[in-house]
Structure 1
Amino acid sequence: MPRLPRLAGVTAAALALGLLASAPAAGGEPTVSDPRVVAHFDLAQGQTPENIALEPDGSADLTFASARQVANVTRNGRTRIIATLPAVANPRTPVTGAAVVLGIARAEDGTLYVNYATGTSATGIWRIAPGSAPRQIAQLPPNGFPNGLALDERRGVLYAADSVLGIVWRVPRSGGQPTAWAMGAELEPRNAPPAARVGANGLRFHRDAVWVSNSNAGTLLRIPVCRNGSAGAIETRARGLAAIDDFGFVERHRDTALAALIGGSEVALIRRDGTHRVVLTREDGLSNPTSVAVRGRTVYVPSAAYFTRQDPNLLLARVHQRARD
Structure 2
Amino acid sequence: MAPYRPTTGLRRRAVTLGFATLFAAVAAAPPAFPATTGTHPAHVAGTCLDDVHVLAHFDRVAGQVAESIAPEPGGSAVIGMIRARQVVRVALDGAVQLLATMPLPPGGGTTTPIVGTPNVTGVARSDGGDVYFLYSSGQGGLTGIWQLRPSGESRLVVPLPADTFPNALVIDGKQHRFLITDSAGGRIWQAPLSGGEASVWSADPALAPAGFIGANGLKIHDGAVWATNSDRGTIVRIPVTQDGGSGRAEVRATGLEGIDDFDFTGRSTEILAAINESSKLVRVSADGAQETLLDAKNGMQGTTAVVVRGNQVYLTNGANLAGDDPNLMLAQLRRC
Judge same fold: TM > 0.5, yes or no: yes
- SS in structure 1 at match of 2:219: strand
Q: Which moved more, 1:182-191 or 1:52-61?
A: 182-191
Question: Letter of the aligned partner of 2:98 in structure 1?
Answer: I
User: 1:274 aligned to 270, 285, 288, which one?
Assistant: 288
Aligned twin of 1:47: 64
- TM-score normalized by the length of structure 1: 0.88
Question: Letter of the aligned partner of 1:145 in structure 2?
Answer: F
CA displacement 1:144-169 (0-9 Å, x = unmatched): 21101110123210000000101100
Question: Letter of the aligned partner of 1:88 in structure 2?
Answer: P
Unaligned runs of 5+ in 1: 1-6, 15-23, 192-196
* CA positional deviation for 1:13: 9.4
> Quick check: 1:10 aligned with 2:13?
yes
* CA positional deviation for 1:34: 2.4
CA contact (8 A) 1:8 1:306 kept: no
> Quick check: 1:255 aligned with 2:269?
yes
1: CA distance, partners of 2:208 / 2:323: 28
2: CA distance, partners of 1:298 / 1:321: 13
CA contact (8 A) 2:65 2:84 kept: yes
Q: Kindly report which structure 2 residues correspond to 1:114-129, keeping only aligned pairs within 5 A, or say none.
A: 114-121=133-140, 122-129=142-149
Give the 3 Å change call, closer, same or farther, for CA 142–291 of structure 1 in structure 2: same
CA contact (8 A) 2:131 2:147 kept: yes
CA contact (8 A) 1:299 1:319 kept: yes
* CA positional deviation for 1:67: 1.0
Question: Letter of the aligned partner of 1:244 in structure 2?
Answer: I
Q: Which moved more, 1:96-105 or 1:29-38?
A: 29-38
User: 1:57 aligned to 74, 83, 92, which one?
Assistant: 74
User: 1:264 aligned to 278, 286, 294, which one?
Assistant: 278
* CA positional deviation for 1:321: 2.9
Q: Kindly report which structure 2 residues correspond to 1:142-157, keeping only aligned pairs within 5 A, or say none.
A: 142-157=162-177
1: CA distance, partners of 2:152 / 2:328: 26
- SS in structure 2 at match of 1:211: strand
> Quick check: 1:69 aligned with 2:86?
yes
Q: Kindly report which structure 2 residues correspond to 1:1-325, keeping only aligned pairs within 5 A, or say none.
A: 10-11=13-14, 25-26=44-45, 29-90=46-107, 91=109, 92-121=111-140, 122-191=142-211, 197-251=212-266, 253-308=267-322, 310-322=324-336
Q: Which moved more, 1:177-186 or 1:130-139?
A: 130-139
2: CA distance, partners of 1:254 / 1:171: 28
* CA positional deviation for 1:174: 1.1
Which structure is higher in RCO with an 8 Å CA cutoff and minimum separation 6?
A: 1
Give the 3 Å change call, closer, same or farther, for CA 103–42 of structure 1 in structure 2: same
**In percent, how many aligned pairs have the same letter?**
38
- Aligned-pair Cα RMSD in Å: 1.8
- SS in structure 2 at match of 1:147: strand
1: CA distance, partners of 2:285 / 2:15: 26
2: CA distance, partners of 1:320 / 1:156: 32
2: CA distance, partners of 1:42 / 1:321: 35
2: CA distance, partners of 1:225 / 1:76: 39
CA displacement 1:227-269 (0-9 Å, x = unmatched): 1010011111111111000111112x02111111001110001
1: CA distance, partners of 2:176 / 2:151: 22
2: CA distance, partners of 1:229 / 1:63: 28
- SS in structure 1 at match of 2:181: strand
Give the 3 Å change call, closer, same or farther, for CA 135–200 of structure 1 in structure 2: same
Unaligned runs of 5+ in 2: 1-9, 18-42
Give the 3 Å change call, closer, same or farther, for CA 12–266 of structure 1 in structure 2: farther
* CA positional deviation for 1:309: 5.1
Question: Letter of the aligned partner of 1:10 in structure 2?
Answer: R
